[in-house]
Chain A
């Protein structure tokens, strides 16, 4: 049930109003990037982007397009603020995290602009909860400068095959190396742990491989601790695109399908591990 009635009086004052019949379409995606408390919300006419950064080496963004919302009104070109993501998720799940069949929590988010809190109206079964969460000055986001023209290698895999590999990864290994090559082993994940090393090879002819575009053999190392947060997004996704550029930067893009069959995206950018770069 839309909550458009709630905001009517203050309509003119809000720079951003976004409504969802099912709050889970937002909360599920946000769960994929909650490895830090604070996130930057950026809203444009294209939709909502929520970004989390870690140590200037990892950046994760969730994109929820305008089409996903039942109502999305924005009065400025760009609306941005920083907010505590953990608190936001707690509010979105205020009626309980586990879904009861047939019911859903409706959500309306309203924001008056700089200095104002983010107001959430949540309704389920006739009960309405109002949450006001403080917002902060948004910190500047790092531009990883990852553009498609610099992409050397790309594969798109069905998530299922990667999920298993990630769940089995040897966590005693400090790094994960990703090898992408036009020749064998094509796409390989490797760990170097206490008891030995392990390699997961995906053939380019695998039916799990939806796209294989590798132009040059590249092996890059990434700290395991940086990649671990991406496993949440992987668990929710149905497809993942893995790209590396000429600097060895890694882009993981996850396609997530929500309950209504709509698509949202989560992007992870990760810097390579510079220490001891010999292969």
Chain B
């Protein structure tokens, strides 16, 4: 595979790498006919992000080798800590880099990132990769009963009011109201907490469809990384979600790329009132990381497979159907395609009975 990114698009690519680095430690690089996909999943498998750059984004984009199936194209996995330093200083990239060439060849172990800079300077980075089938999660966004579309800066402006250390936030929606509030673990002292809540009127959104009142809690860190990316492009953000326990998906799209982040949400079998102070919580710690929500894995069953929990039920907790690169139309396991899987949504009832792990201490 060989592609060339010119000028200002290098910065866009760099921002995508930075957003992915806030989700997981590894980056899956998947060059396909539809474009170059960059994906990452958090170690707890509670967040998944995917950026797909269409061939139009590149000055030159070729999959190399014979124009056959993608079986000739190398799909690989890189460590984000090796890749991130190349794109750490975006202002310097903007100032100096004229174009960036990325190439992967099946015959070597290297992904080569070559930056052609002003003043006749060339920077070449050869990064070792692990050959790996594409990572993919599937998310049934059409099955989500609530869909919002927020104008470009709205979500970023709201989220910036939460303290930097705030880990999780709760999004509550009714047909008449949207609010975001910081989430506190009831086991922690409530005296020292600072509560922040932001409410918005549906009119602030470009599209506001709330068919079911919902209250979902998810991690803020991965979302922030994603929002930094979207803000710089002034793109409206679509949000697909349903009730607590089902994943929430934030996405943007443009002619040149699409970006998505899917986050697991806490399941909350209790009624959705304000935070229960007493120990009626199902789990002792309510961190998102304890919820093995997303079923994301790579094609070949190997050490990467999402058997985070031994329990078979939890392996189908969240059905994710996301039409990314795959052209397959059905949900559930697709035989030929790499990705993963998702259980199908017949298991919804199972989800409700399910107690996410972490028995109370």
Q: Using CB atoms and an 8 Å cutoff, list the residues of chain A in contact with chain B.
A: 161, 164-165, 168, 170, 185, 194-203, 205-209
* 19 cross-chain CB contacts under 8 A: A165-B123, A168-B85, A168-B89, A168-B123, A170-B85, A194-B82, A195-B127, A196-B82, A196-B110, A196-B125, A196-B126, A196-B127, A198-B124, A199-B123, A202-B120, A202-B121, A203-B121, A208-B119, A209-B120
Query: Cα distance A165–B121 when bound, in Å?
Result: 10
Once A164-B92, A164-B96 are accepted as A-B contacts, the answer to whether A195 and B81 lie under 8 Å apart by CB is yes
Query: Cα distance A202–B123 when bound, in Å?
Result: 9
Partner of B119, one of A161, A194, A196, A199: A161
Interface pair A200/B121, CB less than 8 Å apart? yes
* A197 cross-chain contacts in B, Cβ below 8 A: 125-126
Interface size on B, residues (CB 8 A): 18
Determine if B196 is an interface residue (Cβ-Cβ < 8 Å). Answer: no
Interface pair A196/B121, CB less than 8 Å apart? no
Determine if B284 is an interface residue (Cβ-Cβ < 8 Å). Answer: no
Determine if B221 is an interface residue (Cβ-Cβ < 8 Å). Answer: no
Query: Cα distance A205–B126 when bound, in Å?
Result: 25
* A196 cross-chain contacts in B, Cβ below 8 A: 82, 110, 125-128
Interface pair B119/A207, CB less than 8 Å apart? yes
Interface pair A200/B81, CB less than 8 Å apart? no
How many pairs of residues, A versus B, come closer than 8 Å at their CB atoms? Answer: 55
Interface on chain A toward B: helix, strand, loop, or mixed SS? mixed
Interface string of B96-135 (1 = CB under 8 A from A): 1000000000000010000000011111111110000000
Partner of A198, one of B120, B126, B128: B126
Query: Cα distance A201–B125 when bound, in Å?
Result: 11
Min CB–CB distance A36 → chain B (angstroms)? 29
Interface pair B123/A198, CB less than 8 Å apart? yes
Interface pair B120/A203, CB less than 8 Å apart? yes
- 8 further A-B contacts with Cβ under 8 Å, apart from A201-B123, A206-B121, A208-B121, are A164-B92, A168-B85, A168-B89, A185-B122, A195-B81, A197-B125, A198-B123, A201-B121
Determine if B79 is an interface residue (Cβ-Cβ < 8 Å). Answer: yes
* B89 cross-chain contacts in A, Cβ below 8 A: 168
* A161 cross-chain contacts in B, Cβ below 8 A: 119, 121
Interface pair A195/B121, CB less than 8 Å apart? no
Interface string of B54-75 (1 = CB under 8 A from A): 0000000000000000000000
* B96 cross-chain contacts in A, Cβ below 8 A: 164
* A185 cross-chain contacts in B, Cβ below 8 A: 122
Query: Cα distance A170–B88 when bound, in Å?
Result: 13
Between B82, B110, B125, the greatest number of chain A beta carbons within 10 A of the residue's beta carbon is seen for: B125
- Closest A residue, CB atoms, query B82: A195
* B125 cross-chain contacts in A, Cβ below 8 A: 196-199
Interface pair A206/B120, CB less than 8 Å apart? yes
* B82 cross-chain contacts in A, Cβ below 8 A: 194-196
* A168 cross-chain contacts in B, Cβ below 8 A: 85, 89, 123
Once A170-B85, A208-B119 are accepted as A-B contacts, the answer to whether A201 and B110 lie under 8 Å apart by CB is no
* B122 cross-chain contacts in A, Cβ below 8 A: 185, 199-201, 203
* B85 cross-chain contacts in A, Cβ below 8 A: 168, 170
Interface pair B120/A195, CB less than 8 Å apart? no
* A165 cross-chain contacts in B, Cβ below 8 A: 121, 123
Query: Cα distance A209–B118 when bound, in Å?
Result: 12
Min CB–CB distance A268 → chain B (angstroms)? 22
* A208 cross-chain contacts in B, Cβ below 8 A: 119-121
Interface pair A206/B128, CB less than 8 Å apart? no
Between A165, A201, A207, A209, the greatest number of chain B beta carbons within 10 A of the residue's beta carbon is seen for: A201
- Closest A residue, CB atoms, query B128: A196
Which 7 residue pairs across A and B have the least CB separation, nearest first? A195-B82, A206-B120, A203-B120, A196-B127, A201-B122, A199-B124, A208-B119
Min CB–CB distance A187 → chain B (angstroms)? 10
Query: Cα distance A207–B121 when bound, in Å?
Result: 10
Query: Cα distance A205–B127 when bound, in Å?
Result: 28
- Closest A residue, CB atoms, query B96: A164
- Closest B residue, CB atoms, query A197: B126
Min CB–CB distance B17 → chain A (angstroms)? 14
Interface string of B173-186 (1 = CB under 8 A from A): 00000000000000
Between A196, A201, A207, A209, the greatest number of chain B beta carbons within 10 A of the residue's beta carbon is seen for: A196
Query: Cα distance A133–B124 when bound, in Å?
Result: 49
Interface string of B277-317 (1 = CB under 8 A from A): 00000000000000000000000000000000000000000
Query: Cα distance A148–B298 when bound, in Å?
Result: 60
- Closest A residue, CB atoms, query B95: A164
- Closest B residue, CB atoms, query A168: B85
Min CB–CB distance A205 → chain B (angstroms)? 6
Interface pair A200/B120, CB less than 8 Å apart? no
